Chain A
Amino acid sequence: MVLERYRPLIEEYDAFRAACERPLPSVVRVNTLKASVDRSRRALDAGGYAHEPCEWHPELLRLESRRPGNSWPYVHGWIYGQEEVSALPALVLDPQPGERVLDACAAPGSKTTQLAALMDDAGTLVANDVNLGRLSALRSNAERCGVTNCIVTSKDARSFSLAPFDGAQFDRVLVDVPCSCEGTVRKNPTALDEWSLDRVKGTAGVQRGIVERAVQATRPGGTVVYSTCTFAPEENEAVLDHVLDTEDCRLLEFDAPLETRPGITEWNDEQFDPSVERAKRIYPHLNDTGGFFCAKLEVKS
């Protein structure tokens, strides 16, 4: 079993494994561009969708049973189905109205639409995804949410060009990279079936290229948030260690409203830069969510 390799990293390993076996509750995020949390909750109540807000973020609502795809609040674009823990990186990026923001691997758009809401639909949000097949989902989700400040591009994020934007760098970039998705095992029990160390290493090569380019595309003093939904240090701390080495940037401490564990500085005889401890690991048993990894970088020059 793939997850066995993480036994040395996780104190409460049995609780971790047990949590990975449990299905995840259905969660929606309120799209505050179109409706308030109050109004969305009233509409869910009227449709008979019992729900509770997540303690750590009141815009996230945990549904007790049915998925609300065929409900009025969904039709109006007031709610967006999103795994609870995946709402974290946009909050850590903390984009402000009026800024220039890039979502480097954006499809299908859950984080893009969250970023647009945090920006109050003001400023410029570039949502990029290399996968043309997923682009239509990104576009329709952004449109259903009423996002008007978003530019959609379909480029390889490793060579993302600023030329169409007259060379203007970004204030903030979200790098929510494609990964081995180990942390989604609660949502998708077959997530680990295709796992191999070769695949992890190949994916990590792509991730390194994407985060390097993201740092280059960010103005000095700007912010890059790196996130994955996997536990693999090869795709997490090792990628950060690499970008700290090749680009002029540093890892920042940040507060997370969830229980987390620090990034690890050692894995399979490999040592990482000590500052990767500032990244945060989220295991499923800590907050009853999916698994996640999140780091905040500041671009120096």
Chain B
Amino acid sequence: MAAASPDSDCGPAESSEANSKWLDAHYDPMANIHTFSSCLALADLHGDGEYKLVVGDLGPREQQPRLKVLKGPMVLTESPLPALPAAAVTFLMGQHEPRTPALALASGPCVYVYKNLRPYFKFSLPPLPANPLEQDLWNQSKEDRIDPPTLKEMLEGIREKAEVPLSVQSLRFLQLEPSEMEAFVSQHKSKVIKRQTVITTMATLKKNLADEGAVSCLVLGTESKEILVLDPEAFTVLTKMNLPSIPAFLDITGQFDVEFLLAAACRDGNIYVLSKDSKRPKYCIELSAQPVGLVRVHKILVVGSTQDSLHGFTHKGKKLWTVPMPAAILTMNLLEQRSRGLQAVMVGLSNGEVRVYRDKALLNIIRAPDAVTSLCFGRYGREDNTLVMTTKGGGLLIKILKRTAVFVEAGGDAGPPPAQSLKLSVPRKTRLYVDQTLRERESATAMHRTFQTDLYLLRLRTARAYVQALESSLSPVSATAREPLKLHAVVQGLGPTFKLTLHLQNTSAARPIVGLLVCFVYSEALYALPRAFFKLPLLVPGLLYPVETLVEGLSDKGVSDIIKVLVLREGQGAPLLSAHINMPVSEGLAST
């Protein structure tokens, strides 16, 4: 049993050891398995109900790639591979009993098919036409008409210019030291030049039935920008499709004989969608970065990109959503819990997390002790819902989903705010409202005109009143050029005695003002002032002159009035400026 992993309970999606959704069935940090999700497959290879794990192991640097088959935590068989594996899939070849699935492993230019874990068939990609010039050169060297250094020179010329790339044989020759050339030429000169491409990706496609146990075709993506569909029994090429770029990931739904939809994420950063009978891509989804994984969840294509984000697309290329990831995506795969009808996408990140997303909602976070490079979910051994993970350091983790575990969305921040769903109590549309709305719609122009007329009238009246105020010096700011003055009055106190302070300021730049008088105009029945008329001193420009005077309220009936302040010039009748002071109601009535 595995040791407790350092989980921490930080959110609803994360879970501690105690209430985790997963049981730690096995953890071997030294399992020495180095692979990617495309090279993992789970299948009942012997037909005994015990599902095995097939691993196309890339091997650590020096070791040879291997095909491993695991039963439970143990390696059952192991066999060396001639080249690095590109993909491993299991599929049913035929209808006859026993219906055990065959294993297909794509490696280099070949697909190795195993039945019952015994080699059954080897399919090689059809050779591509070689460059005639290249063939000609080798023919000449065969007849000893040119020596190896000349051959090298000529081949290098072809490599640089020609559209058709060189064969592997010529490329190997060009890598050699001059001393080794002679031997190589004599060994290989009689061979016919063959140019072969390699398989980049492989997937399966049901032949003519949609059931679980239906016969499937192999679909290969090659380095020569082609997609090949193979016959499940005869391994002949059924159809060939061309792509504008080299496919890196494939996803296919449908049946070959009926209708199918093939999505290929390519190395040019685009996803091409093809259907049956279309030799060219039907739709193209342009990503802004390189794809690192392609998974179909229900009808949505989920793509992970090198920009650390997950994108959802419809098969017609409409972008549905984008979710940012906290770290770089290393691998992706589908999580399908059949008993609950759940499909989600698992994403292995470089920070050691494995996140489970349904659409853009985060369902679960698994913390692995190391960065996870491959993921596979399905039936393993006798347990449905098993998650197999391998890590960067070659470790193998097996987790089993608890029977009672239910994935719930983390909720909260993802959805709309709760206020949005609150229903406002909008009043009913009354008859009046409807009539008004109709009237507004019909006579909008007339209403606008009336409004404009009134607005202009209002502006005119305001302007007139302003002019009048200026003419009669009713404003607290003097407008005359000779005596620029500003007046500002403050009333203090609660009553019946108030203190009235006038602040006078000469706003001219340099000229002082002399000979000004102040006059208060008020109702003598209500107020009494010690001096209603007095002379002002010389006003120096810029300074603020406070002039204080006491006002005594005479009325005890709680009435107030306006006191007018007039600033006059000696010998002139019209005031320079005036201010109206609204006196407050005396609040000291009760005490008097």
Q: Tell me whether A and B are bound partners.
A: no
